[in-house]
Amino acid sequence: MSAKPYRLHSNLSSDLCGTHVNRNKVCNFTFDGKNYTGFEGDTLASALFANGVRVVGRSFKYHRPRGVLCLGSEEPNALVEVGEKGTHSPNLRATEVNLYDGMVARSQNRWPSVDFDIGHVNDFLSPLFPAGFYYKTFMWPASLWMHYEHIIRRAAGLGTAPTTQDSAFYEHFHQHCDLLVIGGGVAGLVSAYAAAKSGSHVILVDEQAQLGGCSDYFNAQIDDLDHNLWIKMIISELRTLSNCTVLTNTTAVGLYMHRFALLNQIVSHTHQAEGFSPKARLWKVRAKNIILATGALERPLSFANNDRPGVMLSSALRGYLRRYDVVAGQAGAIFTNNDNAYETAFILKEAGVNIKAVIDLRKQIPHVLRKRAESLNIEVFSGYAIVDVKTVSMGKKIDHISIARILQSGRISQLSSLNVDFVGMSGGFNPAVHLFCHVGGKVQFDKKINSFKPKNDIPHITSVGACNGVFSLNNIIKEAFNTGENVAMQASLYKKVTLKKPKKIEASTNSTLAKQWFIPSIRKYNDGAKHFLDFQNDVTIRDIELAVREGYESVEHTKRYTTMGMATDQGKIGNINALGILADSLDIDIEKSLTTTFRPPFTPLPFGTIAGTKAKTLFQAIRQTDIAHWHEKNTIDFEPVGQWRRPYTYRQAHQSRFDSIQEEVKNVRENVGLLDASTLGKIDIKGPDAVTFLNRIYSNSFSNLKVGRCRYGLMLNDNGFIIDDGVTAKLADNHYIVHTTSGGADSIAAMMEFWLQTEWRDLRVFITPVTDQYAQIVIAGPKSRDVLNACSSDIRFGADDFAYMDVKQGHLNGVPARVYRISFSGELSYEIAVPAAYGLSLWNTLLECGRSYDIKPYGTEALHILRAEKGYIVVGDETDGTVIPKDVGLGSMVSKKKPDFIGKHSLLLMDDLNRDNRKQLVGLFTEDPNEVLPDGVHAVNEVKKAPPMKMIGHVTSSYFSPTLKRSIAMALIENGRKRMGERIAFPFDDKIVHARIVDHIFYDKKGERQNV
Amino acid sequence: MSKVDMHMILKKNTEFLPQKPYNPLCFDLSVRNDLCMLDLRINANDTLALNAISKSLKGLNLPLNPFTSVQNTIYSILWLSTDQWLIVASEKQSEELTQSLNQALSAFDYFSLCEVSHMRSVFRLVGRQAENIIHKGGSLDTTLPYFKDGFVKRMSFAEIPAIVHFLSCQKEEQMIDLYVFRSYANYVFEWLNQTGHKDAAL
């Protein structure tokens, strides 16, 4: 024996035991602060086994000590945290965590330690915690619920969230294929091989580090060779095919409609991946066909105290031996209802492990098994069961098991005990139908295997092998070849080839298994001896029976009442047993109880994997104008507008934000300001029917718009509500350029295209979104004309030559330019569009030309104050998706002459849109001129001591106006226009502010400043 | 046009987008700055117009099959939809090409020809990993039977609208032009530098 008593260093050939570990590479790691060593290739679970660590966690509700139960992703108990505290990853299954040198791992859900957990008191108080206890126990007194909740949350839960940013890099990868094969066991390998050899693009994935599934821990012969050699040959051939992508360490976590699959590939096994090497890669695969070869999960048996550390699934025992050369203890017993577990007993015994007995629920055992057991000196107890597991060290170590004969009446007799410290249990195998169910597949009960299997009723998704309820190796290989070939025939690149099919297969076969959901115990199981069904959620047989007694008869109701099959387990381990108990309790056939809903993800995946590259600097796609770098050098204040980041104000280091904004506004009113308006949406419209198109898109008419002129337009949706606005310029006959809001450009272009391609196919119009083609700069203020005159241009900017709402095309400083005389500030103003790459140069030139006129750039907040002083609306501020033109004083922009436009019918026919007392846009003056109302604050007629109070509207925009030297606000108030001068109240933040309703145009009502 | 003071002539912004990657990448990345691009929309059934366009493009016909492109030594034409194409040439060809097409189409009233040279930035990706970078950015089916040299498709790349043009699909010599809106160019450059890092190669 080695220094590690549970690592065997077997005398058997290394091909058979410890195949996954490299004994030449030692990995140091810590678990719960203690130092251990393992080998490269170990999982954390196998390394803990090798070091004799049996208790790896505490159960969810009762805080019972728990050990490793399984070999793979179905593990319910061994959930651990990996990584230094704060940057750790919680809830990783130790059975799937590949060991690396320097690993730091911890157990979860215990305090102060996994060996001594205060929460274990729950186990002794378990009669107080039946299923649904939280619905009952804490109903009274309600005032104490907050305290209960705190305690419950501390005691329960799965792990803790990390507190620092995950520094690892993650990414997504999209791929299409003819065939996605999920599962790299024999069935998956053969299916992939058959399809790939026939020309299909195949992706083969398996959650384990090595292909072959469970083939390395069962014995069989193919064409007189060890079956593993034949499998290795298939694997190596698959790896040479360029049309086959093989992904290991990759879990299919979800299957969705249209054969869309999510695969979580673990790229780096260390906790903190270096640099840009991704820690995990989320594959998003769209497959024409999917073959599910996900195998089967072994079922536990529901005997008393079946959750004790050392009680494991039978197949896991031999898996740990064959792969990692580790065993769970010194002496063991196997408890089974089927033939398969005998293989475990034989393999372990042959490797030198002391297997004392096989306890078989069946009275009739195949002669060949009994004979072989006898030859290996393993006692066989047929018709017997384990009726209790006795432990020492507060349930942390098995001392002995009690076994007894099971009588037909269900009672027990001939009680005896067996001194073992580990148990392998096998209740048969459940096809892993989870992925099939993710996509809506239905399952059917197969009495032969005593479990549910897929109905295979989803087109282009086929289950093969054990996950289809087929367990004979011969049949699995035959089925996989057929399915792979059939799928390949549907692919466009199909080529007929001769496949190397095996001629002779010898493997053990399974005889009938015993169907027994409940294993009786010495005591009544309601009296302390818990028979666990769902290990992760601490659901026992008693809980299911209680749920039934309390009326929860539907499997979905029972699931929610008991928490059975919830959380990360998703019914992998205890589901069928629970369904069997439920069916027995209801005295119905299990076929009628059906299964709970298995939901993605099959195994949990970190948030980092879901986010992919969308983190840190790539969190969101950011749009920049050509002047962006200048802005970044000249301000730190930006605000998001759609995907753009626009300068909020150009604040100097010594300035407050408020002062900076006020100065920018004043400068536009008194001198001249410069605004980067490149973000405005721009759509080029051309075609003989362009004006008809515009007349239908906008609520106002464009019929009489002349070439060289601009017009403001309002865009409505089908319901008559305002969705966008902007200025349209007529550049030539049948040629217009439409401006939209910055955030709305893409959706408006898509909407226009939608109408043209669906309802208005007769219109001869083409639209081309050209937002990014142009940099567009606003120069606004009484001195703006002077600045432009200082530039070199063939455009004349004088009042007589260039009237308000004109558009002119020419050159500015040697570059083609389009200039609009439009204003969103109420001042003399021009908007200049040049090809985008010239934007920065134009910006700098205007600043230079305007230096003697005190030109200064202004940001979006000054822009908003300027437009608010003038009473101009902003879509999204003054509108909220329920506002019609009349509400904001733009009723005149709804054409009465046009035969049709989007929203017209709603405006005409909907009574609600024609009410007189709708909320209408008004201005507000607060009684205290220095009090600036918050945006969105609600208005009431009458202030009461406490809500509810009838709300009559809300503030849409609110600022301190440097021009008026007081606060101004715009608001939508019920029947507002008829309430001019009225005093209304705004209760907020424990105070009440009163304001008077006034006209919403606060400044230059006649428009004299912009028309100069 | 009035006389222009030479020092006031507007200059192109050459610093908007970095020209060289800042990370060691698993493919060759370059930025194509010297392109003239025209967005052409026309009814594909208008044979007369198509012939006129072909003449002005020195005999190059608009590709009518979806997801295809054609090119000669001067022009590339990318199929964008059933009635939309992107004509790409070197910047030097800009004036001549625009004039020639406008002249060819002057007899027709139902078309749209927009100068969009400044609208998109073009990244060229070369090397064995180039296609993988596209797959990292978004969903694109490269198993289609018509996926071959010249394949062009609009796609959502890194969650932004993009056009991918596979100049060469050959595994060893992949060459892809990635067209993105100019305003996203710096974001895409950053994205390519991180996701295309040599350590992140598949």
- In this complex, is the C-beta atom of B3 within 8 Å of any C-beta atom belonging to chain A? yes
Inter-chain CB proximity A836 and B1 less than 8 Å: no
Task: Give A 281-320 residues with CB within 8 A of chain B.
Answer: 284, 286
Structure tokens at B6: 């030479």
Cα separation, A958 vs A932, in Å, equals 7
- In this complex, is the C-beta atom of A199 within 8 Å of any C-beta atom belonging to chain B? no
- In this complex, is the C-beta atom of A795 within 8 Å of any C-beta atom belonging to chain B? no
- In this complex, is the C-beta atom of A493 within 8 Å of any C-beta atom belonging to chain B? yes
Cα separation, A662 vs A967, in Å, equals 12
Which residues lie below 8 Å from residue A177, measured CB to CB, with a gap of 6+? A200, A201, A202, A203, A245, A285, A286, A287, A288, B143
Inter-chain CB proximity A171 and B199 less than 8 Å: no
Min distance A898 CA to chain B CA atoms (Å) = 24
Task: Give A 672-701 residues with CB within 8 A of chain B.
Answer: 684, 686-688
CB nearest A792 (choices: B8, B16, B190): B8
Task: Give A 596-635 residues with CB within 8 A of chain B.
Answer: 613-614, 617-618, 621-626, 628-629
What 3 state SS string does A946-961 have? CCCCCEEEEEEEEEEE
Cα separation, B159 vs A621, in Å, equals 7
Structure tokens at A993: 């502010």
Which residues lie below 8 Å from residue A275, measured CB to CB, with a gap of 6+? A169, B197, B199
The residue ranges of chain A whose pLDDT is under 70 are 1-4, 10-15, 137-139, 155-157, 271-274, 524-528
Residues in B closer than 8 angstroms to A284, CB to CB, are: 139
Cα separation, A242 vs A498, in Å, equals 18
Inter-chain CB proximity A812 and B135 less than 8 Å: no
Min distance A621 CA to chain B CA atoms (Å) = 6
CB nearest B182 (choices: A613, A766, A772): A772
CB nearest B184 (choices: A623, A810, A840): A623
Task: Give A 629-658 residues with CB within 8 A of chain B.
Answer: 629, 644
Task: Give A 132-191 residues with CB within 8 A of chain B.
Answer: 169, 171-178
pLDDT at site A999? 97
Strand, helix or coil at A81? strand
Inter-chain CB proximity A687 and B183 less than 8 Å: no
* B21 burial via Cβ count (<10 Å: 0-12, 13-18, 19+): middle
Count of helices and strands (H, E) across chain B? 4, 10
Min distance A743 CA to chain B CA atoms (Å) = 13
CA nearest to A627 within chain B? B16
Tens digits of residue pLDDT in A461-520: 999 999 999 999 999 999 999 999 999 998 877 788 888 899 899 887 777 888 889 999
Min distance B184 CA to chain A CA atoms (Å) = 5
Inter-chain CB proximity B145 and A492 less than 8 Å: yes
Cα separation, A157 vs A745, in Å, equals 46
pLDDT at site A910? 86
Inter-chain CB proximity B13 and A838 less than 8 Å: yes
CB nearest B114 (choices: A618, A768, A814): A768
Tens digits of residue pLDDT in B131-164: 999 999 999 999 988 999 999 999 999 999 999 9
* A142 burial via Cβ count (<10 Å: 0-12, 13-18, 19+): exposed
Inter-chain CB proximity A684 and B4 less than 8 Å: no
Min distance A685 CA to chain B CA atoms (Å) = 8
CB nearest B190 (choices: A171, A275, A617): A617
Inter-chain CB proximity A836 and B182 less than 8 Å: yes
CB nearest B135 (choices: A175, A734, A838): A175
Inter-chain CB proximity A623 and B16 less than 8 Å: no
Min distance B142 CA to chain A CA atoms (Å) = 7
Inter-chain CB proximity A613 and B136 less than 8 Å: yes
Cα separation, A286 vs A476, in Å, equals 26
- In this complex, is the C-beta atom of A815 within 8 Å of any C-beta atom belonging to chain B? yes
The residue ranges of chain B whose pLDDT is under 50 are 1-3
**A605 in Cβ contact with A282 (< 8 Å):** yes
Min distance A231 CA to chain B CA atoms (Å) = 26
Min distance B30 CA to chain A CA atoms (Å) = 18
Counted across chains A and B, CB pairs separated by less than 8 A come out at 179
Residues written for chain B: 202
Cα end-to-end distance, chain B, whole Å? 56
